[in-house]
C-alpha cells in the first residue's frame, strides 16, 4: 500500500467517524427536545381527583 492510498483510506475513515458522531449528536438533541415537549404536556394535564373512585359492575 503506497502513501497516497493510505492517506485516502485514513481520510475516508475520519469522515465516516465524524459523520457518525454528528448523527449521534443529532439523535441526542432530538431526544432531549422530545423529552422536554413530553414534560411540558404532562405539566398541562389536569387530573380529575374523582376519576377511578367508583366501579360500576354488573353480572
Alpha helices, DSSP H only, in the chain? 3-44
pLDDT value at residue 1: 67
> How many Å apart are CA 39 and CA 30, to the nearest integer?
14
Cell numbers found for residue 32: 432531549
Regions in the chain scoring below 70 on pLDDT:
1
Of 23, 19, 20, the closest CA to residue 31 belongs to 23
pLDDT value at residue 26: 97
> How many Å apart are CA 30 and CA 11, to the nearest integer?
29
Amino acid at each position: 500500500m503506497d502513501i497516497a492510498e493510505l492517506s485516502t483510506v485514513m481520510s475516508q475513515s475520519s469522515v465516516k467517524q465524524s459523520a457518525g458522531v454528528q448523527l449521534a449528536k443529532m439523535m441526542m438533541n432530538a431526544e432531549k427536545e422530545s423529552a422536554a415537549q413530553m414534560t411540558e404536556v404532562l405539566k398541562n394535564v389536569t387530573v380529575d381527583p374523582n376519576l377511578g373512585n367508583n366501579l360500576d359492575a354488573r353480572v
